[in-house]
Structure 1
């Protein structure tokens, strides 16, 4: 969450122009940061919980699910039933 002098007095979030200007030196647009953060949350937590916490539709979080499974989450080859 980014708090500015204007946003700290109310419930409004920082403007997109302010955030874009803040991120200009690093060369990354706010949309990329948001998408990356959502993808990380959805792939490490329950997508339905992420949707509820962020006020999104559960279907909206599904586009952030990766088609890659971390090898550490897979069962060991020797313990799989054959």
Structure 2
């Protein structure tokens, strides 16, 4: 889920074997948590802090086939456009 000119993810360890991947651009936020059993939890927030996506831990195969995966991709693409627009304004 990395796009050319997209937001750079921040990786962190959340304890209990859980790794978090976090993207933050212009107040928009997407967080993926991956547990040792390969289940995934995803949360996204808009720039007002409202939750736009909240998917509890599901196995990776279920996530790959879910609408949540598609929504994460859409959120990251939107964040990529924010980065590109900011770059054009700063150039």
TM class by smaller structure: under 0.3
Question: Which structure has the larger Rg?
Answer: 1
**Larger strand percent:** 2
Query: What's the TM-score, normalizing by structure 1?
Result: 0.27
Query: What's the TM-score, normalizing by structure 2?
Result: 0.24
